[in-house]
Structure formats: C-alpha cells, structure tokens
Amino acid sequence: MLINNIEQGYILTPDHTKIPFLPEHFDPHYWQQKNAIVGTKEGRATAWFFRHDNQVSVLKHYWRGGMVGKLLSDQYLFQGLKNTRVYKEFLLLCELEQQGLPVPSPVAAKISRSYCIYRGDLITAAITGATSLCEVLQTREISLSQLNKVAQTIAQFHRAGVYHADLNINNILFNEAGEVYLIDFDRGELRTPSLSWQKHNMDRLRRSFYKEAGKWPTFYFTDNNWEQLHLAYKQALACL
C-alpha cells in the first residue's frame, strides 16, 4: 500500500496503482461536474458510482451508525493513521484481493484530519452487474445452486480467517456472471479460524434474512432456504 501525505491528511492507494488520486477525487460534486456519475445507491449513506479512466468505481463516505452517529455523524477520534477505520479496511481489501478472494478491488482511500478528529472516504472498483442477495429475494425464489454459491463463498472467507463485522444479505452480491462477492469490510479483520466467531457471523446473516423479510411486501425466503444454505456452508467449510 502506498501512503501519500496531503494537507491535513493522507491518500492511500494500492502498490500497483498507476492513477494519481487528488483530494477532490473523493468529493461526489467533482464527479458530477465532470458528468462522470453513472449511478447511486442508497444505504446508511449514498454510494456514488462514477466512471474514471475506463473504469466504474464506487465512492463511499464513512458515517457512524446508531445513537453515536446522530451526535458525531462522520467524525472519528484520530489515534494514528494505522488505527483509523479507513486504513484498516483498505489494507484488509488489499490483502484479500492478493489472496484471490472475491472482494471489490481497492482503488484509493482518503483520511482527512482536523486536530484530533478524522473523516474518511473509500473508493473501490464496482462489481459489474452487481445485484445483492436481498434484491434477488425481493423478486424471485433463489435457486439451490445460488444458495450453494453463497454458502461456499462465505466458507471460503471463513477458512481464510476473514471476519466480516456486518455479514448480511445486502453485503452479498452476485455479479453479471452469477459469481458471489462480499463487500463492506469496515471493522473486518483477519483472525485465527474459530467456530465461535464463524458462528457469530452466520447468526448475524440469519437475522438479516428475517429482518429484510419484514421490510418488503414480497420476499422469497423460507426456513428451508436457510437450512439449505447453512448445510451447504458447513459442508463447504469441512471440505475446503
């Protein structure tokens, strides 16, 4: 990873990067003025999709959640660059991509400092034709082969010791070829493989199915779907 010092902060890029990134590249208004915005996606905050250097990338700003987020919004206590959530997620993405795991390629990140406070932004390569597992379940029943692909992908990450802090059905994507990716590794980390944290991850994923099922007028998910996915996950975990 390359660390570039800028006024009041840092810009991070992968070692192999050939594209220089400037502070303004982390402002969606910059890309709007360039007519480069090709899409947006709403979540806790807006993710901006923009085209640059023949590639579509995704820009996200780091926002706090929960009650703390209502008070501090996007402000975090600066305790050194390597302790920032931005640095940790960017480094983890670089490591996972090097291992060949299906994650969005890290493009660049920015940490902006103001005294003891920092704010962060992350740019990753967009996954072509991405559709979340949640979006799939809103439109149709999921096939057994798709459930197996999801299960096998999660098992692949778990065998590699990858802890995903927010494993849910919005963070599991199918690309246009039907391959499965995991996204959003904020607060994720590499750990020694353990049934304890792996179970915690799977319990969180299970809760997300039922949480989303309660939000949408149509949602094609059953207890049997979960049993199929969980069984395929355990089989893949044992065989990898």
Gap between the Cα atoms of 106 and 134, Å rounded: 24
- 79, burial (CB in 10 Å: exposed 0-12, middle 13-18, buried 19+): exposed
Amino acid identity at 71: L
Gap between the Cα atoms of 190 and 150, Å rounded: 20
Strands 76-77 and 9-13: unpaired
Q: Give exposure, 200-229, as e/b (b: 16+ Cβ within 10 Å).
A: ebbeebbebbeebbeeeeebebeeebbebb
166 is catalytic: yes
How many helices (H) and strands (E) are present in the chain, helices listed first?
A: 7, 13
> Catalytic residue among 27, 74, 166, 186, which?
166
Amino acid identity at 30: Y
* Alpha-helix residue ranges (DSSP H) falling in 6-163: 28-33, 66-72, 85-98, 133-139, 144-159
Q: Please, which residues have CB within 8 angstroms of residue 182's CB and are 6 or more apart in sequence?
A: 101, 102, 103, 153, 154, 157, 164, 167, 171, 172, 173
Q: Which amino acids are annotated catalytic?
A: 166
